[in-house]
Amino acid sequence: MQRKYLIVSKKILPEAYDQVIEARTLINNGSVKGVSEAVKKVGISRSTYYKYKDYVFSPSENSMGRKAVVSMMLNHEKGVLSNMLNYMASEHVNILTINQSIPINGNAHVNLSLDISDIKNPIDDILEKLRSMKGVGDVRLLAIE
């Protein structure tokens, strides 16, 4: 299914991974004011948090591999967003939400929440194709569950 991702029991992983997830949860739900407070609360360094924050995720029960959040920069040119969305539809990705900033310096930041339960190709292949599309840059997988 997804060649660059593994499902691993956290029993065999360093505790820091779980602490990074916990810190991110504290930040996202507003329990702390920022990264410094979150990492102090969970007992890890800021460097540990920043090293792993984009690479460790905690899946929800009963929804494994069904949702993803992707961030990207799009050039402010006609057709870029439309082409990207058409490609996603051709890959059987269901777009749940689109959040786009106003274009600044010719680029707009776009966050997509996706239902990927029907995709036929691995998510990493889809992201690579997005990266290669004209006008699409800095594609990042922010979360997957």
Q: Indicate if 80 and 139 belong to the same structural domain.
A: yes
* Predicted local confidence at residue 9, as pLDDT: 78
| Number of other residues whose CB lies within 10 A of the CB of residue 61 | 6
Each residue's pLDDT expressed in tens, for the chain with a length of 145 residues? 445 777 787 889 899 999 999 999 899 889 999 999 999 999 999 999 999 988 887 765 444 558 999 999 999 999 999 999 999 999 999 999 999 999 999 999 999 999 999 998 888 899 999 999 999 989 999 888 7
Q: Indicate if 29 and 81 belong to the same structural domain.
A: no
pLDDT in tens, 12-35: 989 999 999 999 989 988 999 999
Q: Considering its fold, how many domains does the chain have in total?
A: 2
Q: Which domain holds residue 32?
A: 10-52
Q: Indicate if 23 and 71 belong to the same structural domain.
A: no
* Predicted local confidence at residue 65, as pLDDT: 57
Query: What Cα–Cα distance (Å) separates residue 17 from each residue in 20, 43, 82?
Result: 5, 12, 37
* Predicted local confidence at residue 63, as pLDDT: 47
